[in-house]
Amino acid sequence: MNRREFSLAFLGGLGALTLRPLQDQPKLRVNGARIIQHLNALGEFGKNPQGGVSRVAYSEADRQGRAYIMGLMRAAKLNVSIDLAGNIIGRRSGSVPTLPPLLFGSHIDTVPEGGNYDGVVGSLGAIEVAQTLAEHNFTTRHPLELIIFQNEEGGLIGSRALDGELTDQELDLVSRSGKTIREGISFIGGDPTRLAEVKRKRGDIAAYLELHIEQGGTLDSEKVNIGIVEGIVGINWWDVTVEGFANHAGTTPMNQRQDALLAAAKFIEAVNRTVTSVAGRQVGTVGRIQALPGAPNVIPGKVVLSLELRDLDAAKIKMFYEKIHAEAQQIARASNTKFEFKEINVNVPAPTDSRIRKIIEDSANELGLTTRIMPSGAGHDAQDMALLGPVGMIFVPSVAGISHSPREFSHPADIANGANVLLHTLLKLDQLELK
Ligand code: HGY
Ligand code: MN
Ligand code: MN
């Protein structure tokens, strides 16, 4: 083989690298000011008096925010559609159409009284990456799919529809908007009767990348630019119902009560005690409680509360659940009440791909940014995408580690850094075919 033949064979082996020389890629940069302008504009949809955003999935604010986002995606020259599960997808052709698509994105729904950064930074960062590629006329080898998952905060609903984990019973659960998930999917343009058609299988995606705010304080306190996520915690939710007996609060002696709220209070303490009884990063929370009938002069006869457990190890979640369940039975016996647990949602823990972690690190270092490897205590759609292909997540600092709060904030420079790392990680991944 002469030298020319060798270099042609070499180029052929690398696919369509010839479209744009590799050495040009480090020069591509996102427009950080444009991300912030879009962030402020999106923050108007669902803006609340606390200074944050309440844009729960399937609300009118969610629908309006999604319309705004789709406009940005079209301006970034993406071919935009809503899939049957209600996820927004923006497609861009690649030069090797037989390759599976590279996916990247996040979510724009928020918790009630949330902030304007969780999900939004990753969504707008992804759109800015697409816009930058369009402005530079840059064609990747893989087709690209920018995806804005629907109802991330209500249990990763859009991503779990994609990997087939969303169950039919869950569709009847009432979401924070007041609509059932089934109604919500129709409301945002999906079709809950055809969810089987959105299901993808392992290998259907080349990889999934997500940029997100850290939502904890490690990067901020250690002054590190970029977090490289090693794994995402599993999150399990239960509804717990405590049955007592509603009776007159003035005439029922203290030793004859079946007070469901008192039993629930002991249960909340038991959750905290059990989860903190051994060292580790596991967390357990009772975040919602309702006492019925709910009057000062009636002993509560029924309480419904939520239980959430998180850890990187599903076996540890199961072990803590079993301990908590046993504690609940003891409380029930002592207080003459009854506890019932109903599993609501299971998000499996997921490690990220070690090869993608290395590419994120290289991309950040080439941009002059410092990095740190870290777990994610928050859930993300990436954990469900991990069932379909290799995933990577890039974190940027959250000031004071505050999230799910109107006081959530990340500095514009950090957001621009994260979007640049996303861009260069995507371009490097595009050169590979990970299995
Ligand atoms: O709740 C979570 O961990 C995420 O923010 N959805
Ligand atoms: Mn969140
Ligand atoms: Mn999020």
What are the residue boundaries of the structural domains of the chain, listed by start?
3-232+350-434, 235-347
Kindly state the percentage of the chain with pLDDT values over 70. Answer: 94
Site residues for ligand 1, CB cut-off 6 Å:
118, 152-153, 378-379
> Which pLDDT score, from 0 to 100, does residue 21 have?
52
Examine the pLDDT at 10 and tell me if it is beyond 90. no
CA of 8 to the centre of ligand 3 (A): 45
Closest Cα to atom 4 of ligand 1: 379
The position carrying tokens 């039993």 is: 263
> Which pLDDT score, from 0 to 100, does residue 130 have?
98
CA of 211 to the centre of ligand 2 (A): 13
- 304 three-class SS: strand
Q: pLDDT tens digits, residue range 78-113?
A: 999 999 999 999 999 999 989 999 999 999 999 999
Examine the pLDDT at 191 and tell me if it is beyond 60. yes
Query: Which amino acid belongs to residue 78?
Result: L
Examine the pLDDT at 8 and tell me if it is beyond 70. no
> Which pLDDT score, from 0 to 100, does residue 22 have?
53
> Which pLDDT score, from 0 to 100, does residue 74 have?
98
The CATH number for 235-347, chosen from 3.30.70.360, 3.30.43.10, 1.10.10.60, 3.30.1240.10, is 3.30.70.360
Instruction: Tell me the mean pLDDT in the region 338-354.
Output: 95
> Which pLDDT score, from 0 to 100, does residue 2 have?
34
Q: Please report which confidence band the pLDDT of residue 12 belongs to, taking 50, 70 and 90 as the band edges.
A: very low
**DSSP of 349-407, one letter per residue?**
-EEPPHHHHHHHHHHHHHTT--EEEEEESS--THHHHTTTS-EEEEEE--GGG--SSTT
pTM above 0.75, yes or no: yes
> Which pLDDT score, from 0 to 100, does residue 435 have?
79
CA of 74 to the centre of ligand 3 (A): 23
Alpha carbon distance 304, 241 (integer Å): 5
C-alpha separations of 233 from 182, 307, 314 in Å = 26, 16, 9
Give yes or no on whether 3-232+350-434 and 235-347 have one common fold. no
> Which pLDDT score, from 0 to 100, does residue 50 have?
87
Q: pLDDT tens digits, residue range 279-301?
A: 999 999 999 999 999 999 999 99
C-alpha separations of 189 from 241, 334, 374 in Å = 34, 50, 36
Mutation pick for ligand 1 pocket among 109, 117, 153 (CB with most ligand atoms within 8 Å): 153
Report the atom number in ligand 1 closest to the C-alpha of 310.
3
Give, rounded to a whole angstrom, the gap between the first and last alpha carbons of the chain.
30
Report whether 368 contacts 263 (CB < 8 A).
no
Instruction: Tell me the mean pLDDT in the region 211-221.
Output: 98
Report the atom number in ligand 1 closest to the C-alpha of 235.
3
Alpha carbon distance 154, 55 (integer Å): 12
- 338 three-class SS: strand
The position carrying tokens 């991990």 is: 386
Alpha carbon distance 424, 211 (integer Å): 12
Average per-residue pLDDT for the chain: 94
Closest Cα to atom 6 of ligand 1: 153
User: Lowest-confidence range among 3-7, 106-110, 111-115, 357-361?
Assistant: 3-7
DSSP-derived secondary structure letter, 25:
G
Report whether 383 contacts 351 (CB < 8 A).
no
Alpha carbon distance 322, 346 (integer Å): 15
Examine the pLDDT at 5 and tell me if it is beyond 50. no
Q: pLDDT tens digits, residue range 133-163?
A: 999 999 999 999 999 999 999 999 999 999 9
C-alpha separations of 179 from 53, 184, 253, 368, 402 in Å = 19, 6, 42, 47, 29
DSSP-derived secondary structure letter, 309:
E
Give CA torsion, residues 371, 373, 379, 383, to 10 deg: 110
Distance from the Cα of residue 122 to its chain's centroid: 10
Superfamily of chain region 3-232+350-434: Zn peptidases (3.40.630.10)
Alpha carbon distance 237, 59 (integer Å): 22
Mutation pick for ligand 1 pocket among 56, 107, 111 (CB with most ligand atoms within 8 Å): 111
C-alpha separations of 214 from 137, 344, 405, 420 in Å = 32, 26, 14, 16
> Which pLDDT score, from 0 to 100, does residue 25 have?
63
Q: How many CB atoms lie within 10 A of CB 292?
A: 15
Supply φ then ψ for residue 372, to 5 degrees: -150, 140
Examine the pLDDT at 16 and tell me if it is beyond 60. no
Report the atom number in ligand 1 closest to the C-alpha of 107.
6
In which region does residue 119 sit, left (phi positive, over 0), alpha (psi from -120 to 50) or beta (all else)? Answer: left
Report the atom number in ligand 1 closest to the C-alpha of 215.
5
Q: pLDDT tens digits, residue range 300-320?
A: 999 999 999 999 999 999 999
Q: Quick one: which of 163, 189, 72 has its CA closest to 126?
A: 72
Ligand 2 ion: residues within 5 Å (CB): 118
